């Protein structure tokens, strides 16, 4: 995870917040993670992001993770 975290988009001008309209490419649930690859982007729910993290670690250009919003939603 550290290797991926080093490549997370940190430029605020390139910030894009995922919305409820963004859906997981694996199951259709709300996406909380956007993975940028050389060939395009993948969107994942928190579950599938965790499942595919190790497989995508070597090829991911950026890993944008908003899954912490799940904890905020649960606290409300």
Q: CA 4 to CA 69: how far, in whole Å? A: 19
Q: Is pLDDT above 60 for 3?
A: no
Give residue 73's pLDDT.
Answer: 59
Residues 11-25: tens digit of each pLDDT: 433 567 999 999 999
Residues 27-41: tens digit of each pLDDT: 999 999 999 999 999
Question: pTM for this one?
Answer: 0.76
Q: Is pLDDT above 70 for 6?
A: no
* Cβ contact 62:9 at 8 Å: yes
Residue range of the domain that includes 29: 2-75
Overall number of domains in the chain: 1
Whole-angstrom Cα Rg for the chain: 12
Q: CA 44 to CA 63: how far, in whole Å? A: 11
């Amino acid at each position: 995870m550290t290797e991926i975290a080093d490549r997370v988009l940190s430029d605020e001008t390139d910030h894009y917040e995922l919305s409820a309209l963004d859906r997981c490419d694996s199951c259709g649930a709300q996406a909380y993670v956007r993975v940028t690859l050389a060939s395009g982007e993948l969107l994942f729910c928190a579950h599938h992001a965790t499942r595919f993290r190790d497989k995508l670690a070597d090829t991911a250009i950026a890993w944008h993770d908003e899954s912490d919003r799940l904890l905020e939603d649960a606290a409300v």
